Amino acid sequence: MSLDEGDLHHAGLAALISDARVARLLAALNGDGEETRIVGGAVRNALVGRRVHEVDLATTAHPDVTRARAEAAGFKVVPTGLAHGTLTVVVKGEPYEVTSLREDVETFGRHAVVRFGRDFAADALRRDFTINALSLDAQGRLHDYAGGAADLAAGRVRFIGDARRRIREDYLRILRFFRFSADFSHGDLDAEGLHAAILERDGVAILSRERVRNELMRLLVARRAVEIVTAMAQTGFLGRFLGGIGDGARLARAVAAGRDATGRLAALAVATAEDAARLRERLRLSNADGDRLDSYARLVERLHDAPAPLGALGVRRLVADHAPVAVADALAALAGEPRPGIAPDAAAAIAEYEADPVRVPTIPLRGRDLIAAGVPRGPAVGAAMARARARWLAIGCPTHEGARADLVAAALETGP
């Protein structure tokens, strides 16, 4: 549902500007003809009563002036993006990005030739969406040059000005359009923005895999992820970003179960080991996330072949072979499908393993135990261990000390 502008959380703006560290930084940077304001996401989130994760500022001052004033106030300054006029100022351990106002001279793709400016309105109007163009001055006054407050209240995500021009400045804005819509919009996607995205869709091919991954993972945990991903599939964008089709029903179940971005990606886009391998490369996933998707793929295949409903004992066997988080991902995505049937005690069991991985069973047998029992060193040890592990899984993965003798016996049954 949409809000009236009067229903926006202006108290959040007051809290933002009254933060002691922010107030100290603004006091240090302002004066002598220079002005610094809080801009972008911090203002947007505060205005709708959401948590503010980081505070960015824009200033009329040249970066050299910003640095001198910050250091004179005793703050640490790190030149994190000096070429773009951005400095990180650390106040009592909290980092704040301070960027000099800019004006585009020329734009092409995600790159732009810029010069420093002094006009907050011009700086705001070069941003992507109206809801990201808000600023808050040191006196707590909200500055809105593009109608962002009205759009926030109405649940609209609109490009500033000519949507196609905004997209051509940075084609990642197509994916950001979907991501911010998933987070802040109500109802249908903005028609003009969607039409512009469709017309400019070929531009996404030039985007780096890392930038696509970061936006996509944030989209998957947004409030309306399922609805917006469905819209992306219907308009052909999902395949462009994933290189494959998506499973909206599994994504919806992963969302309902509270899975994180990686778990939701698995549910949406992984059905086979080939899918996991493609996404690992296409999105430049970390080794941990790539391995998790690979485990998920193998679990889905294994569970679809399960002859009987999965209970707590079955979960115990699964976590002995796969990380609990991957098992939880798979069970969440498959819940309600014909196979596997999932018994009530399975959900409780996986929740316990995921919350406390120390509970995951490990086989109480080592190669040295088999050698001591007479198995020759070399390949024979591996073969004997495989027989022992098969026995261990079959009897429910016992971990008590007395289980070792039974496992050694199983290892020696057919000889080396």
Q: Give DSSP secondary structure letters for 176-242.
A: HHHHHHHHH--SSPPHHHHHHHHHTGGGGGGS-HHHHHHHHHHHHTSTTHHHHHHHHHHTTHHHHHH
Write the burial class of residue 353 (CB in 10 Å: 0-12 exposed, 13-18 middle, 19+ buried).
Answer: buried
Residue partners of 108: CB distance under 8 A and separation at least 6: none
CATH of 5-154, one of 3.30.460.10, 1.10.357.10, 3.40.1390.10, 3.40.640.10: 3.30.460.10
Strand order, beta sheet including 36-39: 76-81, 86-91, 94-100, 56-59, 36-39, 134-136, 142-144
Cα(322)–Cα(199) distance, integer angstroms: 44
Cα(364)–Cα(209) distance, integer angstroms: 43
Beta partners for residue 134, in sequence order = 144
Cβ-contact 159, 173 below 8 angstroms: yes
Q: Is the dihedral of CA 147, 149, 154, 155 positive or negative?
A: positive
pLDDT tens string for the chain (416 positions)? Answer: 445 555 687 889 999 999 999 999 999 999 999 999 999 999 999 999 999 999 999 999 999 999 999 999 999 999 998 888 999 999 999 999 999 998 765 555 545 556 788 999 999 999 999 999 999 999 999 999 999 999 999 999 999 999 999 999 999 999 999 999 999 999 999 999 999 999 999 999 999 999 999 999 999 999 999 999 999 999 999 999 999 999 999 999 999 999 999 999 999 999 999 999 999 999 999 999 999 999 999 999 999 887 778 999 999 999 999 999 999 999 999 998 888 888 889 989 999 999 999 999 999 999 999 999 999 999 999 999 999 999 999 999 999 888 999 999 999 986 44
Residue partners of 337: CB distance under 8 A and separation at least 6: none
Provide CATH 1.10.3090.10 ranges for the chain: 158-242
Residue partners of 326: CB distance under 8 A and separation at least 6: 266, 292, 295, 296, 299
Q: Give the closest residue to 217 by CA, choosing from 167, 174, 263.
A: 263
Provide CATH 3.30.460.10 ranges for the chain: 5-154
Predicted TM-score (pTM) above 0.75:
yes
CATH of 158-242, one of 3.30.1320.10, 1.20.120.330, 1.10.3090.10, 1.10.472.10: 1.10.3090.10
Which CA distances in Å does 126 have to 66, 104, 160, 190?
Answer: 22, 8, 8, 19
- Our measurement of the distance from residue 217's CA atom to the centroid of its chain's CA atoms, rounded to an integer in Å, reads 3
Alpha helices by DSSP H, listed for 52-171, are 63-72, 120-125, 148-154, 163-169
Cβ-contact 110, 171 below 8 angstroms: yes
Q: Is the dihedral of CA 408, 411, 414, 416 positive or negative?
A: negative
- 3-state class (DSSP) for residue 90: strand
